[in-house]
Structure 1
Amino acid sequence: MATEYGQGYGWDDGPGFRGEGAGERWHRLPAALRAPIEGRSLREFAYLMLSLPISIATFVFAVTTMSLGAGLLVTFLGVPVLAAGLAGCRGLGALERARARGLLGLDVAAPEPLRRRKQGAMGWMGATLKSGASWRHLLYTVLHFPWAVFAFCVALTLWVTGWTLLTYPVWFWLFPMSGGQDGLQLYGDETHQVYLDNPFEITVTALVGLLLTLATPWIVRALTLVDRLLVAGLLGPSKLATRVVELESDRGVVVDTAAADLRRIERDLHDGAQARLVNLAMDLGLAKEKLAEDPQEAARMVGEAHGEVKTALQELRDLARGIHPAVLTDRGLDAALSSVASRCAVPVQVEVDLPARPAPAIEGIAYFTVSELLQNISKHARATRATVDVWRIEDRLLLQVVDDGVGGADASAGSGL
């Protein structure tokens, strides 16, 4: 099996194929010389050769079912015929995606499934007729047919002509006579004939064949580029459907994050400020009882209660800062990250290089991300120093947190990564 060149598509050499040394020597050849006999070129050529008979069959099926369905629309029979035709086009589209994946290395996801509002045959027919993906598959069968005819003719003509001219010296040596004359006849009438029969003409013919043979794989590749665009654009999911899937995924992440934040706030209130306020109420109740019989003890207890109030207020401030820090809103990301770094257990150097403030949502994401990372450094890294860098490239905000700790995070070991 020939080794791939250019952009690889995932075909690997298995046991029994070319050895490592031969493969290295093969790769040393320029791509232009390897192209005519490499596996990728042969697969692309095979794709174009198969496209003609397949496109004829799909075109005939699509035109027949759509014409029959349209003609029967005056009766109820037209609706199921149209739905069956569109469903057949979707099935043929699945075969085309598989063929593109196998011969072109183009992996196109299946389109969005039918959205049935009702069960049964009526629901299926309605969903099929309303599906944009079904009509895109029909459009593919119609557009692909003329393109397949053109690409088939161009690819086959160039491939056969190139190899024929390139190997003409061999044919001339094996069969030196053509119609009683030396060489291949290029032109002939009653008064004039032209033959390729001298060494110069044979050499020029072979050189022309060599140029065509070397150029044909790249022309075939350009032709298959149109097929790639047709398959990816018409047989895959629409941009709107892809965007809907992304939004649904993002919505799930946001909901999970919001639920986790609510649980964290509830836990912090229960274990922190709420517990301290309960203790404060009990201490003040005891101080009230001691006020008449032991004023000094009551004053001491009130003083301790005052300290508990300050601690509870600080915990509430920290909790509010965790929800959305005021310093982030007032002074921006640089000051907010510096405030987080000052509370870290290890020295942290913060470098923020932003020409302008990002959107508030982006600032919040960056702030909480850095906060969580620095908290992990304080708890687990056993580091002596850390750095936080934030910068912007075009429309992307990038951040990097580095420490000199022991590391050891493993995404497969249930570490929360």
Structure 2
Amino acid sequence: MTTDEHVDEQVDEQVDEQVDRTPGQLRLTGYVLAQLALGIVALVCAILTVVGAALMVVWVGTLLLAVSLPLTRLIADAHRRMAADVLGLDAPRPYRALPDHPWQKLLTVARDPMTYRDLLWCVWACTLGWVYALICLLELLVVVTWPLWWWGLGYQMRLRSHVDLWFLATSHTERLEKRVAVLTETRADAVDTAAAELRRLERDLHDGPQARLVALSMSLGLAEQLLATDPDGARRLVGDARETTSTAIGELRSVVRGIHPPVLADRGLVGAVQALALDMAVPVTVTADLDGRPPAPVESAVYFGVAECLANIGKHAGSSSASIALTHDGERLRATVADDGVGGADPDAGTGMLGLRRRLAAFDGTMTVSSPTGGPTEVVLEVPCDLSSPRTTPSSEPG
């Protein structure tokens, strides 16, 4: 295939993809008629808003705004949905949340930047936008062939929808501001989680290995004093010190596993999850389809997330079996933990699940829980990431 033929094929694919996302002609016709009718309503809203703002010194102006602003948002919502449908895009409602008090609600609407963008859009919708919709309708009436209908009406509506979304959709700057707010919140959660982990490690070391090592030092000191006068007593103290050493080593290993389990580093996420499943009192089936390994921080977060879910199954679910599925769709790593227990799990009720949600949020990950009363329960952990190195364990193994 020549270069020109390859380019033509790519263009055809892009055109076909755009066609698939474009609504049918009947729906486009309905949108044109709706835009013509709502254009008149937009004119009325613009007039009422301007008059109401001019008469704010008296109560009549407030009453006019109380009617015009909500009505403007209703017709703006309708045009936003139509424009997003025509273009095959997502255009969420961008207005600020409204308080319950009527006066505060009116102040919030008046201070919302989108209110003024709605007013500008009303001017466009009842003038050039209305003429544009009328042209589309006239084109529809004179079109007698399918290709002309498609490329004429469809192209015109897409162009109109771009203009509508320029007014009505969230701007690039506003999306960046929301993203910065989310990142600020998740960073604060990550810092708090790291501080809590450090405090936990300090407490575990203080209460476990440190206390054992102090006892070991005292036992060896007493044995040294008794070595000349009471060899048998010194021998017993040395034996006690050996047992204390073994206990301290075990506690140190437990602390290390809480930081980063060796099995996770050696066998990867699939192998580590299989090891968790083997320690469960109920049978757990592990299935996985991963063509590589995720980054180490993501791998650790998902591992501890699965461990928390299994711990909850062992404590509260009362299930007879459970399952774990690890998949990757090219963009997101997904871990699904399910059981046939009594259900009724509330992710906001315990600190474990809340901590898990914050841990995943640091990587733009999410946790969804489906647990109706009576069961079954399904927890889905998703984290966006790429897979890198080849997997080192089998893709599936019954737990």
TM-score bracket, normalised by the shorter chain, equals 0.5 to 0.7
Note closer, same or farther for the CA distance 1:411–1:367 as it changes in structure 2 (3 Å cut).
closer
Structure showing greater relative contact order (alpha-carbon pairs closer than 8 Å, 6 or more residues apart) = 2
Counterpart in the other structure of 1:252 = 188
Is 1:360 the counterpart of 2:360? The answer is no
Aligned 8 A contact 2:327 2:334 in 1: yes
Report the Cα distance in structure 2 between the residues aligned to 1:50 and 1:257, rounded to whole angstroms.
52
Report the Cα distance in structure 2 between the residues aligned to 1:96 and 1:291, rounded to whole angstroms.
94
Q: CA deviation at 1:413?
A: 4.6
Aligned 8 A contact 1:349 1:386 in 2: yes
Is 1:290 the counterpart of 2:266? The answer is no
Aligned 8 A contact 1:409 1:415 in 2: no
Is 1:230 the counterpart of 2:166? The answer is yes
Counterpart in the other structure of 1:51 = 42
Residue deviations 1:233-266 (CA, integer Å, cap 9, x gap): 4668533222212211221221122122122212
Q: How do residues 300-315 of structure 1 correspond to structure 2 at under 5 angstroms? A: 300-315=236-251
Report the Cα distance in structure 1 between the residues aligned to 2:71 and 2:171, rounded to whole angstroms.
10
Counterpart in the other structure of 2:93 = 108
Note closer, same or farther for the CA distance 1:395–1:154 as it changes in structure 2 (3 Å cut).
closer
After superposing the two structures, state which structure 1 stretch, 246-255 or 231-240, moved more: 231-240
Report the Cα distance in structure 1 between the residues aligned to 2:221 and 2:342, rounded to whole angstroms.
50
Note closer, same or farther for the CA distance 1:45–1:284 as it changes in structure 2 (3 Å cut).
farther
Equivalent position amino acid for 1:366 in 2:
V
Residue deviations 1:157-201 (CA, integer Å, cap 9, x gap): 8889x9xx9xxxxxxxxxxxxxxxxxxxxxxxxxxxxxxxxxxxx
Partner SS, residue 293 of structure 1 = coil
Is 1:348 the counterpart of 2:284? The answer is yes
Q: CA deviation at 1:398?
A: 0.8
How many positions carry a matched residue from both structures? Answer: 279
Report the Cα distance in structure 1 between the residues aligned to 2:206 and 2:218, rounded to whole angstroms.
17
Aligned 8 A contact 2:260 2:300 in 1: yes
Structure 2 unmatched runs, 5+? 1-24, 51-67, 82-90, 97-111, 145-153, 354-399
Aligned 8 A contact 1:273 1:316 in 2: yes
Is 1:151 the counterpart of 2:129? The answer is yes
Note closer, same or farther for the CA distance 1:346–1:158 as it changes in structure 2 (3 Å cut).
closer
Q: How do residues 124-273 of structure 1 correspond to structure 2 at under 5 angstroms? A: 145=123, 148-153=126-131, 155=133, 225-226=161-162, 228-233=164-169, 238-273=174-209
Residue deviations 1:198-257 (CA, integer Å, cap 9, x gap): xxxxxxxxxx9xxxxxxxxx9998797446412344668533222212211221221122
Counterpart in the other structure of 1:195 = none
Report the Cα distance in structure 1 between the residues aligned to 2:226 and 2:318, rounded to whole angstroms.
48
Report the Cα distance in structure 1 between the residues aligned to 2:302 and 2:170, rounded to whole angstroms.
38
Report the Cα distance in structure 1 between the residues aligned to 2:337 and 2:224, rounded to whole angstroms.
52
Counterpart in the other structure of 2:308 = 372
Q: CA deviation at 1:318?
A: 2.0
Q: CA deviation at 1:396?
A: 1.0
Counterpart in the other structure of 1:329 = 265
After superposing the two structures, state which structure 1 stretch, 44-53 or 311-320, moved more: 44-53
Note closer, same or farther for the CA distance 1:411–1:155 as it changes in structure 2 (3 Å cut).
same
Residue deviations 1:62-84 (CA, integer Å, cap 9, x gap): xxxxxxxxxxxxxxxxxxxxxxx
Q: CA deviation at 1:99?
A: 5.2
Report the Cα distance in structure 1 between the residues aligned to 2:268 and 2:307, rounded to whole angstroms.
15
Partner SS, residue 332 of structure 1 = helix
Structure whose alpha-carbon radius of gyration is higher? 1
Counterpart in the other structure of 2:387 = none
Counterpart in the other structure of 2:384 = none
Equivalent position amino acid for 1:109 in 2:
P
Q: TM-score, normalised by structure 1?
A: 0.52
Q: CA deviation at 1:302?
A: 1.5
Alignment partner of 1:299 out of 214, 235, 241: 235
Aligned 8 A contact 1:97 1:108 in 2: no
Partner SS, residue 298 of structure 2 = helix
**Superposed CA RMSD:** 4.8
Residue deviations 1:375-417 (CA, integer Å, cap 9, x gap): 2333333444433221111211111122344444234655754
Structure 1 unmatched runs, 5+? 1-30, 60-91, 112-132, 166-207, 209-217
Residue deviations 1:100-144 (CA, integer Å, cap 9, x gap): 248867753358xxxxxxxxxxxxxxxxxxxxx98x999987787
Equivalent position amino acid for 1:153 in 2:
V
